[in-house]
Amino acid sequence: MSANNGNSEKQGRIRDRARGQDVAPPAPEALPLPVADSHTHLDMQDRSVEESLRLSASVNVTTLIQVGCDVPSSEWAVQTAEQHPEIHPTVALHPNEGPRLVLGDVDGWSRQHRAPGGSAALEAALARIDELAALAQVVGVGETGLDYFRTGPEGVAAQQESFRRHIEIAKRHGKALVIHDRDAHEDVLRILEEEGAPERVVFHCYSGDAAMAKVCAERGYVMSFAGPVTFKANETLREALRAAPLDLILVETDAPFLTPVPYRGRPNAPYLIPHTVRSMAETRGMDVAELCAAIDANTRRVFGLR
């Protein structure tokens, strides 16, 4: 990052602070029944795990799926879940990690463990994810998938290879596959068919339309909805939510990202799930408690929770 870019970023943060954009939103009214945040990143949030759990419990968000994005965050997810029974880990390399490892843009764990050649670095990371996925407490392999928004054409092959390998890992260990799909719907669906999808597949932060939702429903894929379903301009996403069968719906934050209305742009966290759940219930024209019960049952089935 250049000095000018750094100054611009700092000035932007100062402006955001002045507008209150870095201030955590207040806790909403508690949900009538417990639900789970099916996708969160506690390691990226500005409060302790204990405080996150306390806030979440206060609004009836009682189960958190802590999602890995690389080797260190996957290891952190496993270690943190061992200390907190409300937390359940998934492990994986984010789609953008594959190209970084193959093309050499690596740091931290990857630099310490890489062998000569980019493909060897990816192999080493995948081997560690495989080891973690074998652990009994790990409930899923993800987030994996494809992201064509941030990765250029030179990284597509590495992304697709990493995705295929994660599918194999999920099937071999009998774990749910958690998919990150950004600007890559057709290729994600195609590769799942080519490789043979695991028994349980979750499209994290579902971003397809109603037609894709019907395809997912036909194949038994679960769709997890996040803050964007509350955004005014996202009627296409709400149409997808209405098209999705109730038994194939989850809810998530992807915190600290994708904060729902009315706090869009401010830090997200699991305790803000009630905003998204109530918006989803309104969209589907159903009782909030009924939706909570369905989401809880779906989450436990998909991730094998008791």
The 10s digit of each residue's pLDDT in 42-51 is 999 999 999 9
The topology (CATH level 3) of 35-95+126-303 is: TIM Barrel (3.20.20)
In angstroms, the Cα distances linking 264 to 20, 101, 236, 255, 260 are 12, 33, 18, 12, 5
Q: Collect contacts of 19-24 with beta carbons under 8 A, ≥24 apart.
A: 20/266, 21/265, 21/266, 22/266, 22/267, 23/266, 24/266, 24/267, 24/269
**262, 19 in Cβ contact below 8 A?**
no
Sequence ranges of the domains in the chain: 35-95+126-303
**267, 41 in Cβ contact below 8 A?**
no
User: How many angstroms separate the CA atoms of 241 and 228, rounded?
Assistant: 12
The 10s digit of each residue's pLDDT in 50-93 is 999 999 999 999 999 999 999 999 999 999 999 999 999 999 99
**51, 60 in Cβ contact below 8 A?**
no
Closest to 240 (Cα-Cα) out of 222, 255, 259, 264: 222
The 10s digit of each residue's pLDDT in 96-122 is 999 999 887 544 434 444 444 568 899
Mean of the pLDDT values across residues 250-269? 97
- For every residue of 124-136, which 3-state class applies, written as one string? HHHHHHHHHHCCC
